[in-house]
Amino acid sequence: MPDPTTSDPTISDPTTSDRQNLKALRSQLRRQRRSLSITDQAIAGQQIASQLRKQWFFKLASKIGIYWPHDAEPDLLKLAGINNKSWYLPVISDQIRRWENLRLLFQQFNNTKLVNNKFGIVEPGYQPKQLINPNMLDLILVPLVGFDRSGNRLGMGKGYYDRTFAKHQNAWHKPLLVGIAHSIQETSKLSPQAWDVALDIIVTEKEIFRCKMPTLASQHLALTNHRTGGT
């Protein structure tokens, strides 16, 4: 969980041993995930998708950020066939806008040409007119390497998701962040850094963890008003 901001003297960096421990944990969890058979991976993706379809936050959301599965992450792309929703894939900004800090752009996922980014992950070919302000999404399905039941997320170590959302926690509209994982990716309590952005919900093939109940209540009201035209 690296610092996604610029160097800030008020924020202490993790010690070398902390960084080494996180690196080792990240490697261990990625090995566990890759050890799942192709069949088990597919079943887990189907079970997670089935659980999502039943949830109020999925039913009410109309603009959803999804990810292209990589490194044995659960595959939820079949959800993008649901016609009454608009779907968006992340695009890493540093290959496009080199003057910006590393963050994610979200671009509508339709018939756009797909390309591999520098990490070998599929993303849409850049089309500025198809971009959306990430805060205007209703829901983002967030991949992860590890998680705990408090909603803390261990990512791949580049800080893209944290950097994208860290400065917008008090925005008037912001998406519900829903972590997606295999159950074997659960770990004991993680120690978040000041810049880490916690997840609201985590969905595995076995359970749904509702981590931030006050946020969920306000988001339910906001999504309901959005769909019904209320204020």
Look at residue 214 in the predicted model and tell me its pLDDT.
Answer: 53
**Whole-angstrom Cα distance, residue 80 to residue 196?**
28
Please tell me the pTM assigned to this model: 0.84
3-state secondary structure of 223: helix
- Identify which of 70, 68, 71, 78 has the alpha carbon closest to the alpha carbon of residue 47: 78
Task: Name all domains of the chain by residue range, CATH numbers in brackets.
Answer: 16-228 (3.40.50.10420)
- Cα maximum dimension of the chain: 52
Q: What share of the chain is helix, strand, coil (3-state, %, to 5)?
A: 35, 20, 45
Least confident of 17-26, 98-107, 147-156, 211-220: 211-220
Encoded amino acid at 100, one letter: E
pLDDT one-digit tens code per residue, 193-231: 877 899 999 999 999 999 876 555 566 666 666 555 654
pLDDT one-digit tens code per residue, 153-173: 999 988 889 888 886 666 667
Average model confidence (pLDDT) for the chain?
A: 84
